[in-house]
Amino acid sequence: METHQLDSALAKLRAALAGIRLPLHLPSAVAADDYARRQLAQLDDYILPRLAEQNAPLLAVVGGSTGAGKSTLVNSLVGRVVSPSSVLRPTTRVPILVHNPADLHWFDSDRILPGLARNRDEEDGNTLRLAAEPALPEGLAILDAPDIDSVVTENRQLATQLLAAADLWIFLTTAVRYADAVPWDHLRHAAERNAMVAVVLDRVPATATREVSGYLAEMLRQRGLGSSKLFCIPETELDGDGLLPPALVAEINGWLAELAGNAAARRRAVAQTLGGAIEAMSRNVPKVVSALNEQEVSLASLREMANKAYREANVRIAEQTANGTMLRGEVLARWHDFVGTGQFFRAVEQKIGTLRDRITAFFSGTSKQAVQVGNAIEAGLDILIRQEAEAAAGRVHDAWDSDPAGREVIAGLDWNAGRGSAELPAAASELVRAWQADVLRMVSETAVPKRAQARYLALGINGVGVALMIFVFAHTGGLLGAELGVAGGTAVLAQRVLEAVFGEEAVRQLARNAKNNLDYRISELLNSEESRYDSLLDGLEVDSKIAVELANALVEIERSRHNDSRLAVDLVSEVR
Amino acid sequence: MDAQTTQLARLSAHTENLASRVQALQQVLALVEGRVDRTTIAKVRDVLRRAGQRTAISGEKTVVALVGPTGAGKSSLFNALTGKHFAEVAVRRPTTSEARAVVWGEKLPEKLLDWLEIGKRHLLESDDPELNDLVLIDMPDYDSVEDKHRETVDRLVKVVDALIWVVDPEKYADAALHEGYLKPLSEYAEVMMVAFNKADVLSEADMNRCVRDMRRLLNDNQLNATRIVVTAVAFNTGVPSLLDMVKRTVAAKVAMTARLSRDISVAAYSIEIELGKTTPVVNRRQVAELAEAVSDVAGVGEKTAAIEQEWLTRGQAVTGWPFVAKRYRRASDPLRRVKASQKVQLDLTEEEGPISFQGAVGRAKVKEALRTFAERLGDGLPSGWKRAVSTAANRELNQLMAQLADIAVQKTPPLADLGWWNAFRALKIVCMLGVVFGLGWLLASPVLSEFGYPALPPLTWLAIPAPLWLIVPGLVVGVLSGLLGRLLVRPTARNQAKLARNLLIEQVEAVVKARAVDPVQAELNRIAESQTLVRRALR
C-alpha cells in the first residue's frame, strides 16, 4: 500500500518536472532549469526503475578524472580488454556497461537509462555499449563512464548523468589528481545524496602509499564520506594487454563479489543510495519551486512596468484635455478667428436677447472658420496623444532595459520597443476624427428648444460642435488660478453660446458625455499600444499549476518515503 | 629566427607607443562615461591602472610565471630552472600554496614583488648575464579543492609578463585549463609557452601523440603562436631549451611591453565595439527641417499671415482711390490681436515653465520634432549613444520653448512706404486736384453770374468744355491707377510676408541650433573623438 503511495508521488513529481519551463532569464533560472533536467533524468534513469525492480543487479559506475585510468581499471576488474584505453585524452566517449550474460535482460531494455540507445558494437553519440562478461558475478554490473572533467562538454554531462544513475560509485582518482576541485565537486554531491561510494586511488608511488592514502582518507572524512571504502593501487607496469596485475585489483574484486553475492548487502546498498537520492531530491526541488515563483514575480513586475507607463500616459492625456492647456496656440487662434475679437466679448456680456442677433451676426457665414477650429483641435489632440503614447513606449523600454529579464525579452525584436506602434499615427488621427464625429452626432441628436432653433441654425452644427469641444477642454477638469484668465474666458464664451442653444443642464450632460467618449477612446488606443508588450510576455507565462504540483508531490513523497520498506537501510531483509 | 622571436621583435617597435596609447585610452574613458556599458568601463579602467603601475614600478624586469594544475610538476620544473631546491616537491596535493619568486641579479626588486604581492622571495647570484632582470615565479595550482590557490593564480595571471603553462600527460586536456584559462587568454598567445612535463612516463611515440593532441587543443583556441616544449625534469630533458626560451624573452626586453600592449588592445577593442564604425553628421537640411517643424510653436505661420495682411491693407490705402479704398489705420494692426492673445498666455506661470505658451500641444510638437531629429541621427549608433543623442536633444527643452515664445511675441518693425507707392500717391493727388479744379470751374460760372459778375469765358476744346477735360480724365486715371495699385500691392505683400517669414525662420533656426542642434553635435563630436582615440589606442 505504502509503496504505491511513494511510486505515485514520484510519478507526479516527474510529470511536474517534465512540464517545467523557465523562460525568463533570471539568475535563478539557469541553475533551476539545469537541476530540473538532471533530476528528471535521474528519475527516469535510476529512481523509478530501481524502485520498480529491487532485484535488478547492482550497477556500479566507475567515474573519475580524465586520464585517471578508468578504462584500465574496468578492464582489469573484468580480466580482459572490454574498454579501450589510450594516452590521448579524453578516451572513453561511449560508456560501456559490463554485465554477466545471465543479467542481460535487465539492461537490454529501456528499463534504466532510457535516453541512451543500446549498442553492442559501434561507437556513436548517445549510446550505451553492453558487454557480456561471464567472469563478472551475477547481480553486479560495471559501467565505465566518460571523464568528469573532460574538455568535451557532452562527456562531462554524460558522466554526471551516469553517476546519478549509480547504485554504487566507484570513484577513481590518482596520486596526482586526488586534490583536484572537479572530482571533489562530484564527491560532495555524492555525500549530499548519501550515495554509496568507493574511492580508488590509482598510480600511487610505492614510497608514498601511506602518506597519500592517509591524507585522502582524512579529506574524505572531512567531507562527510568517512564511511566510504578506500582502495589503493600502486604505480605499476601494465601487462601486454594494458591490464593491471590481478593481485592489485583482487581486493576490489573481492569486495564487489561479496556485495554481488550477498542479497542483503546488495539491498542495503540500494536502499542507501536510493533513499539518499530521494531525500536529496526533496531538499533540492523546493529551489525549483522558488525559481518558478521568481519567474512569476518577475513577469508580473514586467507587466506592471508596461502597465504603469501607459497608465501614466492615460492620466496625462486626460489631464491635458481638461485643464485648459489644449486652449492655446493654434486652437485658440482659430477659435478667436471664429468668434471674432473684442466685439464678441462685449456681446456676451449683454442680455441674451440681443445676444441672439449678435451671435447670428458673428457666426453667420463663418462655418468655414468653425471647420478650421475643428481642424486645429484635431491636429493638436492628435499630436498630444501620439506624443504621450511615444513617451510611454520609451518609458517601458527604459524600465525593461534596466531589468535583466526585461532586457532579454526586448533583445532582438524586429520592432523598436522604445517607440509607438507603426499604426499609432493612423490610429491617433482616426481616434480624433471619430471623436469629433461623435461630438457632432451628440450635438445633432440633442433636442433644441423651439426658441433656440434660429440660434442653432445660425451657428451651424459645426459651430456648436467646436464650441462644445472647447468647453470640454476647459471645463471638466476644473481650472485653477491664472489658467482661468485665458482658458476660462474662452470657455465661458463657449459655455454661454451652448447654454443659449441647449440650456444649462443639457450642456453639462453633453460635455460629460463628450469627455467620457474621448477618455474611453484614448484608453482603448493606449491599451492596444500596451498590448504589444503584454503579448511579448504572454509567451513567457509560467504554468503556476506546476509549482503547486511540485510542492504537493514533495509533501506526498515526504509522507510516504519514511514508511517505505524499500528504502529501509537496516534490517528487514537481513532479518529475513 | 623562430616565429615567436619575430613576433616579439615586431612588438618591440611599439614600446615607445605604449605611453601614448595608454593616454589615448584614458581620454576615451572620460569621453564614453555613461554611454558605454559600465562593466566594460570598469574593466578598461582596471587594465589602465595595472599598466600604469607596472610601467612605473619596474620597466626593465621581466616577470615569467610557471602555472599549472596540481601535480603537473611546476615546482620540480621551477627547481630545475633555478638549479636550486626552493620549492617543496611532495606527493601531498595540493603542494605549493603560496607563490614564490626567484630573481637573478644583485638586488631584489622589492617594489615590483610588493606589487605582485609575492612574499617568498629569493635572490640568486647570476653567473649568466642573460638571466639578469628575470623574475621567475612558481605559482600554486588552479584546479585543487583550495579556492585560495585559484584566487592567487587568477590575480597573477592578469599581471605577469609571460606565462609558462606546465601540464602533464594526465591533465593536459582538462576543461579547467582550456576552458578556464587558455581560451580567455587567446589574445596573449605570443607571451605564453607550454611545458609538457613528465615526458618520461610515456613512450616517445605516445608522448608525440599527446603533444600533437595538445597542439590541436591550443590551435582550437587560436593559440597557434604558443610554443610547446616537452620536458622531463628527472632526466633534465627539455629544461635547457625551456630556459633558453625564457632567456630570449628576457633579452628581447619586450615581454612586458607585449603583454601590456595586448592588454591595451583588448581593452580598446572592448570599447571600440561599443562605439560603432560611423559618425553621423548634422547637415543643414536637418536643421532646416527641425526649425520648420517647430516654427508654428514660434507663431511663424500666424505672424506671416498677419504681416501679409498688413502690407495689403496699407498698400491699398496708399495707392487706392481715396473715395473707394479703405482707410488704413495703424491702430487696427492685425498683428495686435495675435500678440495680445499670446501675451496673456506668456504672463501665466506654471510649474512646467513655458508650457503655458502654446499649451501642451506646442510642447508635444516640439518634442516630436526633436525625437525625429535625434532618431535620424542616432540611427546606426549603439544603443548607449542613441540614448545619449536623444537626451542631448531634449536637455534644453524648457529654454527652447521659452525662446520660441520670445520669437512669437516680439514686435515686428512698422512697415515703411515703398517708392513706387509715392508715384501712385503723386498721381492720385494730381488727379484729385484736376477733379476738384474742374468741378470748381464748372460751379464758378453760375455762381459768378448770380452775383452779377461776368461769366468766365467758355473755354472748349474739341467742342467739349474745359472743366470736363479736367474732371473726366482725373476720375478715370484715378480709378484706374487705384485698381492697378491694388493689383500691384498683392505680390508686394506676398513678397514682404516671405521676407518676414525668412527672417523669422532664421531666428527659429538660431534658437533651435543653440538649444538642440549644438548639444547633439557635441555628443556626435564625442563619438568621433572617441573613435579617433580608440584607433590610436588600438595601434
Are residue A85 and residue A148 in the same domain, yes or no?
yes
Q: How far apart are alpha carbons B116 and B109 in whole angstroms? A: 11
Chain-centroid distance, C-alpha B33: 11
Q: Look up the ipTM and state it.
A: 0.71
- What does DSSP assign to residue B16? H
Q: Does the residue A548 lie in any domain?
A: no
Per-position b or e across B411-424, b if 16+ CB within 10 A of its CB:
eeeeeeebeebeeb
Most confident of A223-227, A388-392, B89-93: A388-392
The four Cα atoms A447, A452, A454, A460 give a dihedral, to 10 degrees, of -60
- Nearest Cα residue in chain B from A208: B91
Determine the pLDDT at residue A89.
64
Residue found by looking up cell 553635435 in the block: B521
CA of A118, closest CA in chain B: separation in Å? 28
Q: Which of B74, B75, B93, B370 to mutate to test the interface with A (most CBs of A within 10 A)?
A: B93
CA of B92, closest CA in chain A: separation in Å? 6
**For chain B, what is the mean pLDDT?**
83
- Which residues from chain A sit within 8 angstroms of residue B348, using beta carbons? 482-483, 485-486
Are residue A563 and residue A502 in the same domain, yes or no?
no
Across A266-290, average pLDDT: 89
Are residue A420 and residue A473 in the same domain, yes or no?
yes
Cβ <8 Å between B213 and A341 = no
- Nearest Cα residue in chain B from A378: B361
Range of the domain at A89: 57-261
CA of A195, closest CA in chain B: separation in Å? 21
- Do B72 and B198 touch, CB atoms closer than 8 A? yes
Q: How far apart are alpha carbons B417 and A471 in whole angstroms? A: 44
CATH number of the domain at A221, please. 3.40.50.300
Q: Is A490 on the interface with B (CB under 8 A)?
A: no
Q: What is the pLDDT of residues B416-443, one digit of tens each?
A: 777 888 888 888 888 888 888 888 888 8
Q: Does the residue A310 lie in any domain?
A: no
Q: Which H or E run includes B66?
A: strand B62-67
A 344-383 residues with CB < 8 A to B: 379-381, 383
Choose among A67, A150, A326: nearest Cβ to B360: A326
Q: How far apart are alpha carbons B229 and B245 in whole angstroms? A: 10
Q: Which of B209, B188, B202, B191 is nearest to B231 (CA)?
A: B202
Across A437-466, average pLDDT: 78
Determine the pLDDT at residue A91.
58
Q: Residue A423, SS3?
A: coil
Q: Kindly state the cell numbers that stand for B312.
A: 495689403
Across B454-463, average pLDDT: 77
Determine the pLDDT at residue B392.
93
- Which residues from chain A sit within 8 angstroms of residue B91, using beta carbons? 175, 205, 208, 211-212
Lowest mean pLDDT: which of A82-96, B142-156, B293-307?
A: A82-96
CA of A511, closest CA in chain B: separation in Å? 21
Are residue A238 and residue A267 in the same domain, yes or no?
no
- Nearest Cα residue in chain A from B209: A88
Are residue A372 and residue A335 in the same domain, yes or no?
yes
Q: How far apart are alpha carbons A277 and A51 in whole angstroms? A: 12
Across B45-63, average pLDDT: 84
Determine the pLDDT at residue A526.
96
Cβ <8 Å between B359 and A329 = yes
Chain-centroid distance, C-alpha B316: 56
Confidence of residue B323 (pLDDT cuts 50, 70, 90): low
Q: Which of A70, A87, A407, A410 to mutate to test the interface with B (most CBs of B within 10 A)?
A: A87
Strand residue runs (E) in A72-179? 96-99, 117-119, 127-132, 140-144, 168-174
Cβ <8 Å between A386 and B364 = yes
Confidence of residue A571 (pLDDT cuts 50, 70, 90): very low
Q: Is A429 on the interface with B (CB under 8 A)?
A: no
Residue A93 has pLDDT above 60, yes or no: yes
Cβ <8 Å between A333 and B360 = no
Q: Is A178 on the interface with B (CB under 8 A)?
A: yes
Task: Tell me the residue type at A288.
Answer: V
Residue A373 has pLDDT above 90, yes or no: no
Q: How far apart are alpha carbons A328 and B401 in whole angstroms? A: 14
CA of B11, closest CA in chain A: separation in Å? 32
Q: Kindly state the cell numbers that stand for B210.
A: 599527446
Cβ <8 Å between B170 and A67 = yes
Chain-centroid distance, C-alpha B279: 7
- Do B18 and B260 touch, CB atoms closer than 8 A? yes
Are residue A475 and residue A377 in the same domain, yes or no?
yes
Cβ <8 Å between A482 and B368 = no
Residue found by looking up cell 543643414 in the block: B284
Residue A572 has pLDDT above 50, yes or no: no
Q: Is A485 on the interface with B (CB under 8 A)?
A: yes
Across A156-162, average pLDDT: 87
Q: Does the residue A391 lie in any domain?
A: yes
Q: How far apart are alpha carbons B251 and B255 in whole angstroms? A: 9
Across A417-429, average pLDDT: 91
- Nearest Cα residue in chain B from A206: B91
Q: Kindly state the cell numbers that stand for B520.
A: 547633439
The 3-state secondary structure of A279-330, one letter per residue: HHHHHHHHHHHHHHHHHHHHHHHHHHHHHHHHHHHHHHHHHHCCCCCCCCHH
Residue A524 has pLDDT above 80, yes or no: yes
Determine the pLDDT at residue B324.
53
Residue found by looking up cell 495699385 in the block: B485
Q: Does the residue A309 lie in any domain?
A: no
Are residue A219 and residue A269 in the same domain, yes or no?
no
CA of B334, closest CA in chain A: separation in Å? 11
Q: How far apart are the first and last CA of chain A?
A: 20
Backbone angles phi, psi at B321, to 5 degrees: -70, 125
> How many domains does chain A contain in total?
3
Q: How far apart are alpha carbons A65 and A147 in whole angstroms? A: 5
Torsion sign over Cα A99, A103, A109, A110: negative
Q: How far apart are alpha carbons B306 and B355 in whole angstroms? A: 24
Residue A367 has pLDDT above 50, yes or no: yes
A 526-565 residues with CB < 8 A to B: none
Residue found by looking up cell 534596466 in the block: A402
Cβ <8 Å between B337 and A486 = no
**DSSP secondary structure string for all residues of B213-266:** HHHHHHHHTT-TT-EEEE-BGGGTBTHHHHHHHHHHHHHHT-HHHHHHHHHHHH
Task: Tell me the residue type at A344.
Answer: F
Q: Residue B79, SS3?
A: helix
Q: Does the residue A316 lie in any domain?
A: no
Q: Is pLDDT larger for residue A296 or for residue B11?
A: A296
Are residue A325 and residue A463 in the same domain, yes or no?
yes
Torsion sign over Cα B372, B376, B380, B381: negative
Q: How far apart are alpha carbons A46 and A277 in whole angstroms? A: 9
Cβ <8 Å between A176 and B93 = yes
Determine the pLDDT at residue B94.
78
Q: What is the pLDDT of residues B266-298, one digit of tens each?
A: 899 999 988 888 888 899 999 999 999 999 888
Cβ <8 Å between A181 and B170 = no
CA of A336, closest CA in chain B: separation in Å? 9
Question: What angle is formed at CA A380 by the lines to CA A374 and CA A384, rounded to 5 degrees?
Answer: 145
Residue A118 has pLDDT above 60, yes or no: yes
Residue A349 has pLDDT above 60, yes or no: no
Are residue A40 and residue A129 in the same domain, yes or no?
no
Q: Is A325 on the interface with B (CB under 8 A)?
A: yes
Kindly state the percentage of chain B with pLDDT values over 90. 27
Determine the pLDDT at residue A573.
42
Determine the pLDDT at residue B10.
46
- What does DSSP assign to residue B416? -
- Which residues from chain A sit within 8 angstroms of residue B170, using beta carbons? 65-68, 89, 174, 176-177
Determine the pLDDT at residue B454.
78
Q: How far apart are alpha carbons B386 and B125 in whole angstroms? A: 60
Kindly state the percentage of chain A with pLDDT values over 70. 86
pTM, two decimals, is: 0.75
Task: Give B25-33 contacts, CB < 8 A, sequence gap 24+.
Answer: B25/B264, B25/B267, B25/B268, B25/B271, B25/B533, B25/B534, B25/B537, B27/B533, B28/B268, B28/B271, B28/B530, B28/B533, B28/B534, B28/B537, B31/B526, B31/B529, B31/B530, B31/B533, B32/B271, B32/B274, B32/B275, B32/B526, B32/B530
CB pairs under 8 A between A and B: 161
Q: Residue A44, SS3?
A: helix
Cβ <8 Å between A179 and B94 = yes
- Which residues from chain A sit within 8 angstroms of residue B345, using beta carbons? 328, 332, 486
- Which residues from chain B sit within 8 angstroms of residue A388, using beta carbons? 364
A 20-39 residues with CB < 8 A to B: none
Cβ <8 Å between A328 and B337 = no
Q: Does the residue A227 lie in any domain?
A: yes
Crossing angle for the helix pair B359-378 and B397-409, to the nearest 10 degrees:
120
- Do A159 and A183 touch, CB atoms closer than 8 A? no
Q: How far apart are alpha carbons A95 and A425 in whole angstroms? A: 63
The four Cα atoms A359, A360, A361, A366 give a dihedral, to 10 degrees, of 100
- What does DSSP assign to residue B456? P
Residue found by looking up cell 573519475 in the block: A64
- Which residues from chain B sit within 8 angstroms of residue A327, using beta carbons? 359
Backbone angles phi, psi at B224, to 5 degrees: -60, -30
Q: How far apart are alpha carbons B46 and B43 in whole angstroms? A: 5
- Do A334 and A376 touch, CB atoms closer than 8 A? yes
Could you tell me which residues come within 8 angstroms of residue B36 by beta carbon, excluding any fewer than 6 positions away?
B271, B274, B275, B384
Residue A61 has pLDDT above 80, yes or no: yes
CA of A317, closest CA in chain B: separation in Å? 9
Cβ <8 Å between B173 and A151 = yes
- Nearest Cα residue in chain B from A214: B92
Lowest mean pLDDT: which of A34-48, A329-343, B8-22?
A: B8-22
CA of B218, closest CA in chain A: separation in Å? 12
Q: How far apart are alpha carbons B239 and B77 in whole angstroms? A: 8
Q: Kindly state the cell numbers that stand for B436.
A: 476738384
- Which residues from chain B sit within 8 angstroms of residue A486, using beta carbons? 341, 344-345, 348
Are residue A155 and residue A14 in the same domain, yes or no?
no
Determine the pLDDT at residue B25.
92
Q: Which H or E run includes A379?
A: helix A367-401
Q: What is the pLDDT of residues B207-259, one digit of tens each?
A: 999 999 999 999 999 999 999 999 998 888 889 999 998 888 888 777 777 88
Q: Is A519 on the interface with B (CB under 8 A)?
A: no
Residue B348 has pLDDT above 70, yes or no: no
Residue A429 has pLDDT above 90, yes or no: yes
CA of A328, closest CA in chain B: separation in Å? 5
Q: Kindly state the cell numbers that stand for A138.
A: 551475477
Q: Is A85 on the interface with B (CB under 8 A)?
A: no
Q: Is A103 on the interface with B (CB under 8 A)?
A: no
Residue A480 has pLDDT above 60, yes or no: no
By DSSP bridging, strand A96-99 and strand A140-144 are antiparallel
- CB neighbours (10 Å) of residue B83? 11
Q: How far is CA A149 from CA A157, A188, A191, A236, B487, in A?
A: 10, 15, 19, 24, 97
Q: How far apart are alpha carbons B463 and A398 in whole angstroms? A: 95
CA of B149, closest CA in chain A: separation in Å? 11
Are residue A146 and residue A239 in the same domain, yes or no?
yes
Cβ <8 Å between B356 and A387 = no
CA of B359, closest CA in chain A: separation in Å? 5
Q: How far is CA B291 from CA B285, B288, B501, in A?
A: 10, 5, 12
Are residue A293 and residue A341 in the same domain, yes or no?
no
